[in-house]
Amino acid sequence: MNNALIIPSVSPTIDELVAQCGHYVQQKLNLAIAQRGIARMALAGGNTPKALYAWLASPAQASRVNWSSVQFYFGDERSV
Protein backbone atom coordinates (compact mmCIF):
# COMPACT_ATOMS: atom_id res chain seq x y z
CA MET A 1 0.00 0.00 0.00
CA ASN A 2 1.24 3.46 -0.88
CA ASN A 3 1.51 5.57 2.28
CA ALA A 4 2.71 8.73 0.53
CA LEU A 5 1.81 11.89 2.38
CA ILE A 6 -0.81 14.21 0.99
CA ILE A 7 0.42 17.78 1.19
CA PRO A 8 -2.45 20.15 2.00
CA SER A 9 -2.88 23.12 -0.27
CA VAL A 10 -5.34 25.93 -0.79
CA SER A 11 -7.23 26.43 -4.03
CA PRO A 12 -8.51 29.92 -4.81
CA THR A 13 -11.75 28.63 -6.37
CA ILE A 14 -14.04 25.63 -6.04
CA ASP A 15 -13.38 24.71 -9.69
CA GLU A 16 -9.65 24.60 -9.07
CA LEU A 17 -10.14 22.51 -5.93
CA VAL A 18 -12.32 20.03 -7.85
CA ALA A 19 -9.71 19.81 -10.63
CA GLN A 20 -6.91 19.26 -8.11
CA CYS A 21 -8.87 16.46 -6.44
CA GLY A 22 -9.82 15.02 -9.82
CA HIS A 23 -6.22 14.84 -10.98
CA TYR A 24 -5.31 13.10 -7.73
CA VAL A 25 -8.07 10.50 -8.20
CA GLN A 26 -7.04 9.93 -11.82
CA GLN A 27 -3.42 9.47 -10.76
CA LYS A 28 -4.29 6.93 -8.07
CA LEU A 29 -6.68 4.98 -10.32
CA ASN A 30 -4.15 4.83 -13.16
CA LEU A 31 -1.39 3.76 -10.77
CA ALA A 32 -3.55 0.93 -9.40
CA ILE A 33 -4.47 -0.20 -12.92
CA ALA A 34 -0.80 -0.17 -13.96
CA GLN A 35 0.28 -2.14 -10.89
CA ARG A 36 -2.61 -4.60 -10.52
CA GLY A 37 -4.65 -4.39 -13.71
CA ILE A 38 -7.63 -3.13 -11.74
CA ALA A 39 -8.58 -0.24 -9.50
CA ARG A 40 -11.31 -0.09 -6.90
CA MET A 41 -13.21 3.05 -5.95
CA ALA A 42 -15.82 3.54 -3.26
CA LEU A 43 -18.46 6.10 -4.19
CA ALA A 44 -19.89 8.36 -1.52
CA GLY A 45 -23.44 9.61 -1.72
CA GLY A 46 -24.91 12.99 -1.01
CA ASN A 47 -24.05 16.34 -2.54
CA THR A 48 -20.42 16.65 -1.46
CA PRO A 49 -18.80 14.48 -4.20
CA LYS A 50 -21.10 15.55 -7.08
CA ALA A 51 -18.72 18.13 -8.53
CA LEU A 52 -15.82 15.67 -8.46
CA TYR A 53 -17.84 12.93 -10.16
CA ALA A 54 -19.05 15.39 -12.82
CA TRP A 55 -15.45 16.52 -13.42
CA LEU A 56 -14.20 12.94 -13.79
CA ALA A 57 -17.01 12.14 -16.24
CA SER A 58 -16.61 15.33 -18.29
CA PRO A 59 -15.64 14.89 -21.97
CA ALA A 60 -12.23 16.48 -21.32
CA GLN A 61 -11.39 14.04 -18.51
CA ALA A 62 -13.31 10.79 -19.07
CA SER A 63 -10.74 9.23 -21.41
CA ARG A 64 -7.85 9.77 -18.95
CA VAL A 65 -8.79 6.61 -17.00
CA ASN A 66 -9.59 3.16 -18.37
CA TRP A 67 -12.94 2.97 -16.59
CA SER A 68 -13.51 -0.63 -17.70
CA SER A 69 -10.66 -1.53 -15.31
CA VAL A 70 -12.28 0.22 -12.33
CA GLN A 71 -14.59 -1.58 -9.90
CA PHE A 72 -17.02 0.69 -8.06
CA TYR A 73 -18.44 0.14 -4.61
CA PHE A 74 -21.31 1.88 -2.88
CA GLY A 75 -19.80 3.54 0.19
CA ASP A 76 -22.61 5.71 1.55
CA GLU A 77 -22.79 5.27 5.30
CA ARG A 78 -26.53 5.99 5.33
CA SER A 79 -27.17 2.47 4.05
CA VAL A 80 -24.71 0.69 6.31
| 40 touches 32 (CB < 8 A) | yes
Is the model's pLDDT at 65 over the cut of 60? yes
Is the model's pLDDT at 1 over the cut of 60? no
Is the model's pLDDT at 3 over the cut of 90? no
What does the DSSP assignment read for 8-73? P---SSHHHHHHHHHHHHHHHHHHHHHHHS-EEEEEP-SSTTHHHHHHHHSTTTGGGS-GGGEEEE
Rounded percentage of the chain residues whose pLDDT exceeds 90: 71
| Span 51-62, pLDDT tens digits | 999 999 999 999
Structure pTM? 0.85
Mean pLDDT over residues 13-31, rounded?
95
Residue ranges of the domains in the chain?
Answer: 14-79
